[in-house]
Structure formats: C-alpha cells, structure tokens
C-alpha cells in the first residue's frame, strides 16, 4: 500500500477544520501522511489543530508570513514522503472511499500526472451536501479562458465519463510525485510568483506540455465549499459573480492569467488562437475601463514580471514533449 501525502493549506479556515479532518480520518485508505500548513492565520486555526490533533501524527507547521497557496503547497510537497501528493483545501469534505478510488485509478496508468475526482458543492452553514457541480476538471477555451467544468450545474450524471481534461482543480488534486519533479522550475512545483489563483491551471498546463495526462475520475467524489467561484452564464452573471469577489482576488487572478500566457506559450503554440485571445483581452479591457479600473495596476505587475516569465518559458521548453498544442492533447474547445 503506497504512502499518500496529504498537504492541507490553511488560512483563517478554523470553522471548516473539524469536518475536513473527520473526513480524512474516515477514509478507507489508511496509509496517509498528513501535513498541515498554516499561512499566518489570525482566527485560532493553528491553536485549534495543535490542541485537537497533536497526538495524531500530523506534522503541524505555522508560517510566520502568508506564503499563499503556491508557497505553502511547495513547502508541503518538499516535506512530504509519499509517492503521491494530495493538496487539500480545508473546505473539502471527502466521501470515505475518495482517496482509495483516486489511488487505484492513478496507479492504473503511469502517464497520469494529476488526477481530479468529481467535486460537488457543500453548504457549510447548513452542514449539507449539495447535488451541484463544483468542478469536473478544468477546461480551457481557445481564447484561453479557463473554467471549472460544470460549475454550478445540477449533477445529473452529465459528467460521469472518465476522461482527459486540460487541468485539475487545486482544491483536492492528486499528483504523482515523479511527474511533479520533472516539471518543477527552479525548485518550484507551483509558481510562487502567482501567490494564489490560477497556479493550479499553470501547473496543469506544464504537465500537459511535458506529455503527462491530467485526468478526471468521477467515481471519486468530494465536496467543496468554494470561496472564489466562476460564472458560466452571460455578461450579467459574469459581472454579478465578480462583484462578490474582493478587488485583490480579482486583480491577482487577472495578473496571473496574463503571466500564465507569457510563461506557457512555448514555441508560440498559441498563435493559431491569437484572434480568439486578442478579442477576449479587448473585451476584458473594455470591461475593466468601465467597471474595474483597478485591474490596470495588476496589468502593470504582469508586464513587470514578463521577462521573468520568459526565462521560465525557456526552461519549460526544455521539458516540453509535444510540439504543438492540439485540441486532442489539452482539450481546448
């Protein structure tokens, strides 16, 4: 039975921890290494974990600064020992056989670099599982817009097919360590320049370029109380959804999107979609002028980091095994 490392990344999520931890201890797969990393929480999260779980063999780490999702995930991966690593948000509740099913599936194909189960919504206020999709894998459109497939749709079995997807959601992904090592850049698996948001898409993109598969396996089910959500609707839904997010989160999400394009456009493989990309960026620029002028600050941050992303792209080119981004290989639609 392979050792599986669970890395829980926490920032002010005390209210979720008991239910998340209970779902871990209820897993049918028992050979687990648990690493809890706290990013300078102010809500007593770390004190709670230390009091409640100090004798459960959990490695508890409290960072003096908030290293973001990317920094904390890298920290946990480097400390872990398992053949596979699962990154967990504290607002994840897993079905008891979630990890077991994920392991059995990923062991069946050594070309799988990352795996996502079916993530459904969870209402923590009512302590209730919801039959609505949170993520059925990440897909990317030709204009490079990325979304969690099926998000907010009622689960009617429309995503019950096991298949390759562009990427895996960062809330509960399972990674093969050997693949992470092969795609790491300057010792980083997740790009720490991103801090948080889109770092899961960025890593998925790199795994694709290196010739590994990102797979979606719907028989493994977990529930997610998502904070920053997406909209699959029209312009009005898009605006309403963004208004629920802080300016900081909207800004760094936009910045990271641009950095991701600078960084992963290996051998100019996005050129075939440049009209789609330019049109989308023009629309978003117009939207920003009218509704979110603060985005220009984050646009400038991305521009300042462009040379750094170019250097990283040159390193990614060295591990790239596919010469072209095709509809078949990365599920652009």
Top-confidence residue, 233 or 271: 271
Angle between helices 14-25 and 45-53 (to 10 degrees): 30
| pLDDT tens figures, 24-61 | 999 999 999 999 999 999 999 999 999 999 889 999 99
Strands 174-176 and 4-10: unpaired
Q: What is the mean pLDDT of residues 274-281?
A: 92
Q: What are phi and psi of 140, to 5 degrees?
A: -120, 135
| pLDDT tens figures, 97-107 | 999 999 999 99
Asked whether residue 39 is assigned to any structural domain, the reply reads: no
pLDDT confidence of residue 43? 96
List of long-range contacts for 239-247, beta carbons under 8 Å, 24+ apart: 239/291, 242/291, 242/292, 247/292, 247/294
Q: Above pLDDT 70, what percent of the chain?
A: 91
Using the predicted structure, report yes or no on whether residue 63 has a pLDDT greater than 80. yes
For the four alpha carbons of 321, 324, 327 and 330, in that order, the dihedral sign comes to positive
Instruction: Give the DSSP H/E element, type plus range, for residue 218.
Output: strand 213-224
Q: Are the C-beta atoms of residues 237 and 151 closer than 8 Å to each other? A: no
CA distance 70 to 76: 10
Q: What is the mean pLDDT of residues 2-7?
A: 98
- For tokens 């990344």, what's the residue? 9
Model confidence at 92, pLDDT cuts 50, 70, 90, reads very high
Model confidence at 67, pLDDT cuts 50, 70, 90, reads very high
Contacts of 196 (CB under 8 A, 6+ apart): 68, 69, 70, 252
For 267: left if phi > 0, alpha if psi spans -120 to 50, otherwise beta; the answer is left
Asked whether residue 66 is assigned to any structural domain, the reply reads: no
CA distance 188 to 263: 14
Q: What is the mean pLDDT of residues 184-189?
A: 97
| pLDDT tens figures, 250-276 | 999 999 999 999 999 998 888 888 999
Using the predicted structure, report yes or no on whether residue 235 has a pLDDT greater than 80. no
314, HSE (Cβ side, Cα atoms, 13 Å): 5
pLDDT confidence of residue 230? 52
Q: Above pLDDT 90, what percent of the chain?
A: 80
Asked whether residue 277 is assigned to any structural domain, the reply reads: yes
Asked whether residue 67 is assigned to any structural domain, the reply reads: no
Task: For the beta carbon of residue 178, count every other beta carbon within 10 angstroms.
Answer: 12
Q: Are the C-beta atoms of residues 139 and 331 closer than 8 Å to each other? A: yes
Q: What is the mean pLDDT of residues 222-242?
A: 65
Asked whether residue 170 is assigned to any structural domain, the reply reads: no
Asked whether residue 258 is assigned to any structural domain, the reply reads: yes
CA distance 40 to 246: 20
Domain containing 291 equals: 235-323
Q: Are the C-beta atoms of residues 115 and 215 closer than 8 Å to each other? A: yes
Asked whether residue 98 is assigned to any structural domain, the reply reads: no
Model confidence at 332, pLDDT cuts 50, 70, 90, reads low
- For tokens 């948001």, what's the residue? 197
pLDDT confidence of residue 233? 54
Contacts of 314 (CB under 8 A, 6+ apart): none
Q: Are the C-beta atoms of residues 49 and 41 closer than 8 Å to each other? A: no
What's the gap between Cα 122 and its chain centre? 18
Q: What is the mean pLDDT of residues 277-298?
A: 89
Q: What is the mean pLDDT of residues 309-328?
A: 80
Global model pTM greater than 0.75: yes
The total number of structural domains that make up the chain: 1
Model confidence at 217, pLDDT cuts 50, 70, 90, reads very high
Asked whether residue 257 is assigned to any structural domain, the reply reads: yes
């Amino acid at each position: 039975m392979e050792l599986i490392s669970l890395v829980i990344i926490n920032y002010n999520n005390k209210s979720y921890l008991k239910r998340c931890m209970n779902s871990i201890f209820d897993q049918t797969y028992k050979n687990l290494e648990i690493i809890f990393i706290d990013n300078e929480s102010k809500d007593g999260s770390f004190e709670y974990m230390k009091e409640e779980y100090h004798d459960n063999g959990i490695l508890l780490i409290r960072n003096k600064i908030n290293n973001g999702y990317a920094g904390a995930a890298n920290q946990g991966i480097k400390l872990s020992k398992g053949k596979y690593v699962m990154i967990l948000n504290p607002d994840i509740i897993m079905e008891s056989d979630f990890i077991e099913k994920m392991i059995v599936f990923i062991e069946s194909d050594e070309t799988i670099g990352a795996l996502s189960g079916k993530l459904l919504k969870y209402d923590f206020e009512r302590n209730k599982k919801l039959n609505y999709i949170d993520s059925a894998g990440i897909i990317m459109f030709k204009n490079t817009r990325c979304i969690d497939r099926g998000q907010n749709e009622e689960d009617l079995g429309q995503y019950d097919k096991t298949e390759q997807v562009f990427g895996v959601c960062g809330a509960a992904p399972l990674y093969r360590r050997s693949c992470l090592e092969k795609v790491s850049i300057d010792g980083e698996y997740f790009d720490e320049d991103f801090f948080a948001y889109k770092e899961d898409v960025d890593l998925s993109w790199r795994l694709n370029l290196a010739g590994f598969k990102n797979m979606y396996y719907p028989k493994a089910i977990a529930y997610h109380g998502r904070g920053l959500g997406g909209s699959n609707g029209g312009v009005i839904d898009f605006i309403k959804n963004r208004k629920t997010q802080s300016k900081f989160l909207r800004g760094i999400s936009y910045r990271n999107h641009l950095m991701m394009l600078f960084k992963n456009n290996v051998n100019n493989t996005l050129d075939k979609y440049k009209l789609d990309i330019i049109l989308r960026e023009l629309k978003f620029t117009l939207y920003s002028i009218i509704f979110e002028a603060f985005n220009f600050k984050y646009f400038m941050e991305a521009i300042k980091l462009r040379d750094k992303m170019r250097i990283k792209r040159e390193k990614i080119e060295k591990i790239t095994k596919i010469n072209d981004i095709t509809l078949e290989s990365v599920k652009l639609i």
